[in-house]
Homo-oligomer: A and B are copies of this chain.
Amino acid sequence: MATTKASLDALVIGIDIGGTGTKFGIVDRVGNVLFSGEISTKKHAEVETFIEELHKALSELIEKAGGVGRMKGIGVGAPNGNYYTGTVEYAPNLPWKGIIPLAKLIEDKFKLPVVLTNDANAAALGEMMYGAAQGMKDFIMITLGTGVGSGIVANGKLIYGHDGFAGELGHSIIIPDGRMHEGTGKRGSLESYASATGVRLTTLELLNNTDKPSMLRSLNPDEIDSKKVFEAASAGDELAMEIFEYTGKILGMALANAVMFSSPEAIILFGGLTKAGDLILKPTREHMEANVIQIFQNKVKILVSHLKESDAAILGASALAWELQ
């Protein structure tokens, strides 16, 4: 909550909407998150009550930061967020179905200009402006959370694509006829393996289909999550280590395909799964290298975001708002 000289100038608001919670904050030009907060996304079956609570919570922060007059605008990162239309469309992880005119709803409520994109695109902008991608013109941002998001920067610009939805690497098919994704109904996508959800599913499969010993067997299946698997792997549990190896293998294959597509300088990973460190990074690197053709080998850095996790999502979303006129 440090207030620096830059905070005397214009400020922006960053809102990051996730499937579980929504983080928001007020950010200055150099990337200080001056004030921040969080509300639940999941508990709002209706988007209107969500906007209501968001407005209430943010209004307090806006007052503390000097009032709405200092706010240049609002940047929003949301799953399936469309930069061109300001809508969120058919987001499998959000409670609101169909096409939601989210930018318009927020704009009307806050009386401030709003720009929206998907959460991973916002994260990519945050890394480019404040993080590991400063100075890079070609990189790919991958967020490994409940789902897998991605933002692709080429020629120094975010790729939004023809209709504003580019960067859905998480839904690319890596294992044909593989694991079913509950949200999309598609089989074998990256997200169904290389997300926190995917790690949980891999664990349940391995516990059910093998009789390998593991400390994870002592847990109630409902308790098993990627954090528990990480703890077990860190304690030397072989089954848990195998789970990360497998997750890294699939992520590495997906990254190989992404590298051959857009030939980035670096891939920047962010999110819960990166906390597993080399348990996941080592197999990811190995399988990426094993699957790229020679011209790409030993060239592409895999970096872990060094932005503070609590700030990164807000910074990313806020980075969008600086582009507003």
User: Number of contacting residues on A, CB 8 A?
Assistant: 48
Q: Are A295 and B262 in contact (CB under 8 A)?
A: no
Q: Mark A106-145, 1 if CB is under 8 A from B, else 0.
A: 0000000000000000000000000000001111000000
Q: Are B166 and A159 in contact (CB under 8 A)?
A: no
Q: Are B263 and A161 in contact (CB under 8 A)?
A: yes
- Copies of this chain, count: 2
Looking at the complex, which one of B136, B157, B261 makes contact with A167 (CB distance below 8 Å)? B261
Q: Are A159 and B165 in contact (CB under 8 A)?
A: no
A160 at the interface (CB under 8 A from B): yes
Cα distance, A294 to B299, chains bound together (Å): 34
Indicate whether A257 sits within 8 Å of B173 (C-beta atoms), given known contacts A168-B293, A186-B293, A293-B186. Answer: yes
Instruction: Spell out A's residues near B (CB within 8 Å).
Output: 80, 89-90, 92, 136-139, 152, 154-155, 157, 159-169, 171-176, 184, 186, 253, 256-258, 260-265, 291-296, 299
Query: 27 A-B pairs, CB-CB below 8 angstroms?
Result: A90-B295, A136-B162, A138-B161, A152-B261, A154-B154, A154-B155, A154-B161, A154-B166, A160-B263, A161-B262, A162-B263, A162-B264, A162-B265, A162-B299, A165-B296, A166-B261, A167-B261, A168-B260, A168-B263, A172-B256, A172-B260, A172-B261, A173-B256, A173-B257, A175-B176, A176-B253, A184-B293
